[in-house]
Amino acid sequence: MKCFKVIIFSALLFGTVVLNIHIANAEIVQGDFGGSPWLEVNGDMRLTPAYPDTVARYDEYIYKQHTRDFDILKLTGEFPRARHFSFNIYGVEGLPVLAMADYDIEPDAGSINPFRVGEDRNADKRSFTIWVVKEGIEAPVGSTNVIMVPADIENNVLMTRVYRADQDQDNSYGGTPPAIESLKADLTSGQTPESMLLHLDEILPELGGMFFNADLAEFWGNSQQLYGDDIVFHHFGLLAGLFPTLHNRYILAPITQNYADKVAVLTFSPPTFEDTYTGNDFEGGKDVRYWSVCVGDWATSGTTDCISDDEVVENPDGSVTICIAPFYLKSAIENAGLNYMRWGALVKPFLIHRHMLADESFAAAIGNVPQIFHPPAEDMQEYYDENMAVNFMGDYCPTGQVYSIWGFKDWLRNRQSYGNPK
């Protein structure tokens, strides 16, 4: 199937944001879709909103639940060859309703689930079936992997997430998105639900939280006022409109607006993770499934750069040091055995650290850090200080400082002479 582009223009305050969304390649085997219903959104596109990870891919089917004659969406496909795979249901306002993680998906008879410990990730027989059923409709007899969609959700976003496709895959999905069949309750062919893309006048007001987010602007301003050039992470809880997944947890650190001639240096102890990029099987017993650090932009909620767990170079003591800097410092940083990330064009920058599917035994998981919301005006300093992520994560929390160029060069010389200053 050819790859087409849908270009959505939405006027937002001071300019026009252009979202380039591809129609994903997927076979339709029943119903009247007439083509792939999936919108392929890659995290490495600068204008992809909602702070994506650059090694992630998001395929979305956006539809109105109470339109036309259907009761069930049947999804059939193969598990991708990747680190993580999930199905997610959102309201169009960008808050999660339901999520199904890869290891919870029962494979079809005769197939295996390669995301389970002990299974062969390279097995050929890896198919699954998922049933997305309207509340009040009986799931098919004998069915597994049932997602029951609440009746009060009219405008649905059905999203698949794929993180870190294996290196031998020719696309960011690690395979092909599932086919969708529209069915009635008796499993005869149903009509295609009406696409929300036909109702942009309804969608765009709901998506306002993705651009110029007022809650994030308040957090950015408060943090800069309190901490200046110190890099301080918090578990921010006001993420409406940003489509967070229930399988990830995030901490954020605001960075100075005058970043272009600065270098942000952060050091932390990395959690152990499942290293599947070269095709290895899942081992189990790791702190997290996946972790990363990204640079985010408040205005567009886009991401300019990310570094994944399997890409980092560790210090001799096992810690990780990341330097976000102008491009001309890249060689000096990498020659010093450190990890380089770039700034890009940003308005009110944020550093984002994510943990995916942390093990229950991992005490330093981001999920154990209290979330912060709007601070009390009279005790703002105390509120932010008490809830700093480092208080709960210890050395696993990135800490550091933003330096001037000359200050960073002095830091680098001292590091090379005396070891690893934080």
CATH at 250: 2.60.120
Last residue within a domain, chosen from 156, 186, 208: 208
Please say which residue of 149, 173, 208 terminates a domain: 208
**Predicted pLDDT at 74:** 97
Q: Are 319 and 338 in contact (CB under 8 A)?
A: no
- Based on the fold, state whether residues 190 and 243 are members of the same structural domain: no
How far is residue 284's CA from residue 359's CA, in Å, rounded to a whole number? 9
Token readout for 63 is 């539809």
Give yes or no for a contact between 294 and 350, defined as CB atoms under 8 angstroms apart: no
Q: What is the dihedral of CA 346, 56, 360, 390, to 10 degrees?
A: -10
171 and 228 in a single domain? The answer is no
User: Do 313 and 185 share a structural domain?
Assistant: no
Query: Are 82 and 162 a contacting pair, CB within 8 Å?
Result: yes
pTM, 2 dp:
0.90
CA-CA distances (angstroms) from residue 98 to 94, 182, 243, 372, 413?
12, 20, 12, 23, 50
Q: Do 170 and 159 belong to one domain?
A: yes
Q: Which domain holds residue 180?
A: 5-208
Q: Is residue 55 domain-shared with residue 78, that is, in the same domain? A: yes
Q: Which two tokens stand for residue 335?
A: 């020659």
| Residues 270 and 396 both lie in one domain | yes
Do 320 and 400 reside in the same domain of the chain? yes
Number of domains in the chain: 2
170 and 259 within one domain:
no
Residue type, 263: V
List, in sequence order, the alpha helices (H) in 189-228: 200-206, 214-227
Supply the pLDDT for residue 420: 58
pLDDT at 206: 64
Same domain? For 248 and 192 the reply is no
Q: What single DSSP character describes residue 178?
A: P
Q: What is the pLDDT along the chain (422 residues), one digit of tens a residue?
A: 333 333 333 333 223 333 444 545 444 444 444 457 899 999 998 888 899 999 999 999 999 998 889 999 999 999 999 999 999 999 877 889 999 999 999 999 999 999 999 999 999 999 999 999 999 999 999 999 999 999 998 889 999 999 999 999 988 899 989 999 999 999 999 999 988 776 677 766 666 677 889 999 999 999 999 999 999 999 999 887 899 999 999 999 999 999 999 999 999 999 999 999 999 999 999 999 999 999 999 999 999 999 999 999 999 999 999 999 999 999 999 999 999 999 999 999 999 999 999 999 999 999 999 999 999 989 999 999 999 999 999 999 999 999 999 999 999 999 877 555 55
Helix (H, G, I), strand (E, B) or coil at 36: coil
pLDDT of residue 251: 98
- Indicate the residue among 208, 236, 260 that finishes a domain: 208
Tell me the C-alpha distance between 146 and 152, whole Å: 18
The reported pLDDT for the residue numbered 364 is 99
Q: Are both 327 and 232 inside the same structural domain?
A: yes
Q: Are residues 348 and 412 located together in one domain of the fold?
A: yes
Verify that 257 and 149 share a domain, yes or no: no
For residue 230 the two structure tokens come to 């110190």
Contact criterion met (CB below 8 Å) for 86 and 105 = no
